[in-house]
Amino acid sequence: MSVTWKTAVIRRKKQSYYGRVEELVYFANLKEQYEIVIHHYIQQGEAKKALEVLQKSSVSDELQYKFAPELIMLDAYETVEAWMASKNLNPRRLITAMMRYSSEPHAKNETHEVIKYLEFCVHQLHNEDPGIHNLLLSLYAKQEDDSALLRFLQCKFGKGRENGPEFFYDPKYALRLCLKEKRSRACVHIYSMMSMHEEAVALALQIDPELAMAEADKVEDDEDLRKKLWLMIAKHVVKQEKGAKRENIRKAIAFLKETDGLLKIEDILPFFPDFALIDDFKVSKLVLSSKHTNALSWANKVAIPLLLFCSIPFVQEAICSSLEDYNKQIEQLKEEMNDATRGADNIRNDISALTQRYAVIDREEECGVRSSLD
């Protein structure tokens, strides 16, 4: 009489006392009761043997998902290698196991195995699941080096697809996460990606002015916004505390060249301090009577800033350059006005000539209109 599987399970405890567990495992394999076999290997800490059982074609993928949390905790490297070798797994159903493993204190420095599998899903399997992309982004954000995070944010996974997204992670979630982890450069990129250019430039100025300039240059279809962003950068350059004031002014003047003519010297004059030391002489603001409101306004906005800085050579150069630009514009307008005047004169002469135009007709000549009617 054959021994039923139920009877074998009942006898398991008795057999264990006699050291015959291996026979029971062998018998379970024969009966294709793989769940018991895998559970036994996990209890014994033999993750590799459990994974070998899971690799069998006759084993259901459901067992992969069921034992994934325990296996990755037992041996992350072997488990991830097994996942990567399996072709029918749904990575989304492994997210819980990966998140549980990544949250463990002992796994803080070992999340690279989870990252390796997620990168495999994203780059090799071209997985588009937002959950996979969000989890990978969160693990990148927790690393000390943010280079991998920046590369991930800049990668356009959906490029080439018609009417498809360029990325599959949630940008709002990414922004909250990067702000929490203080990944400033990543935040600048996300702000820019979400068309929040003012926030991007403001944050970039706290990191690197060059980064802020690059962000300001990304705005091409809105001239007013682009100028506003460059003014934010100019204000930061003028008011920064590092270095001597004269050196800061020099940098501010040199900064004008970076804007390709978008900003003029008069645009940044309001950002200079109320007084400055010029060759050991201090020029202060003029105190005008409140009765002279127009004069006070003009002095504050134009005259005094010019008095403050016009004796500095490199400021003189910038002012002269600005005046030369205005002079060129004036000359161009004059030329256009002269062309218009000459055109008007020509039209008047033509009209005058038409008023004096005449023709001589012989009295014997027949009417051309009448002859054509006849």
Are 80 and 110 a contacting pair, CB within 8 Å? no
Name the percent of the chain lying above pLDDT 90.
Answer: 32
> How far apart are the C-alpha atoms of 330 and 336, rounded to whole Å?
10
Range scoring the smallest mean pLDDT among 142-146, 178-182, 293-297: 293-297
**Under 8 Å between Cβ of 135 and 101:** no
DSSP state of 106: G
Q: What is the pLDDT of residues 271-280, one digit of tens each?
A: 766 544 443 3
pLDDT band at 21 (very low <50, low <70, confident <90, very high): low
**Residue 236 CB-half CA count within 13 A:** 18
pLDDT for residue 15: 46
Residues 6+ away with beta carbon under 8 Å from 51: 71, 78, 79, 82
Q: Is the predicted pLDDT of residue 324 greater than 80, yes or no?
A: no
Q: What φ, ψ does residue 58 adopt, rounded to 5°?
A: -85, -5
Number of Cβ within 10 Å of residue 312's Cβ equals 18
Q: Is pLDDT of 282 > 70?
A: no
Query: Residue 172 corresponds to which tokens in the numbers above?
Result: 């709002």
